[in-house]
Amino acid sequence: MPACNCHIACTPTTPIPPRYRKALWAALVINAVMFAVEIVGGLQSGSVSLLADAVDFAGDAANYGISLAVLAMGLTWRARAALLKGMTMAGFGVFVFARTIWVAFSGVTPEPLTMGAIGLLALLANGLVALMLYAFRDGDANMRSVWLCSRNDAIGNVAVMLATAGVFGTGLGWPDFVVAAMMAGLALSSGISVVRQVRQELSQRPAELIHADQIHSTEQIQR
């Protein structure tokens, strides 16, 4: 019997680390709470970057829930879930671009103190999630998409803090708009990256994928 040296075929039979499941549950709760906080803060402050980050929190909470749902499934289903998440990230990027353009033309200047306080809280929350998921960043497309979500959030919150300083210093809204556009670009590029990896995983050695998923399903039934 030849040695197993195919990452794609071996992945489904590799047990999911209990730490990963716990980290996903913690990330799900944190993101759901921060979604509510940033929606309120974004509306009160008039900040498009906070609203964009709130939508991102909502999307990430849903993505973590999907990841938890497919953990016990084979790589094919996990890859399909990652495909959905990649498309969601890309769609989020398009939405934020559109929202930024609309707010920029409306002439709204956000309130920087509320932006800063909530942005700092979001940065701490996302930093914690990113730290918990860092060890799983080089896994399959599903694990990678989860890591990219947490990484993008932490980067986005640093950018929100910079936007807060810019709005406070200039009294204008353009720093907020620039940061929102950057967050949109990051989400779009990450979504495309995940979709490409999913396509690669599903296209390489499909027979081995099917065989590995069958083995995985048999093991689940035996348990």
- C-beta atoms surrounding 78 within 10 Å: 28
Q: The tokens of 123 are what?
A: 């940065």
Judge whether 143 and 20 are in contact, CB under 8 Å: yes
Q: What's the whole-number mean pLDDT along residues 75-97?
A: 76
Q: The tokens of 36 are what?
A: 């509510």
CB under 8 Å to 166, separation ≥6 — which residues? Answer: 174, 175, 176, 178
185-194 burial, b at 16+ Cβ within 10 Å, e below that, comes to ebbbebbebb
Q: What's the whole-number mean pLDDT along residues 193-222?
A: 59
pTM here is 0.63
Summarised one tens digit per residue, pLDDT across range 121-132 is 999 998 888 888
Summarised one tens digit per residue, pLDDT across range 21-36 is 888 888 889 999 998 9
Tokens 């047990």, residue located:
15
What amino acid occupies position 58? A
Judge whether 50 and 42 are in contact, CB under 8 Å: yes
Q: What share of the chain is helix, strand, coil (3-state, %, to 5)?
A: 85, 0, 15
How wide is the angle at C-alpha 7 spanned by C-alphas 3 and 10, nearest 5°?
65
Judge whether 35 and 64 are in contact, CB under 8 Å: no
Residue 30: the pLDDT is 92
- Ranges of H-type helices in 71-173: 75-106, 112-133, 141-170
- C-beta atoms surrounding 182 within 10 Å: 18
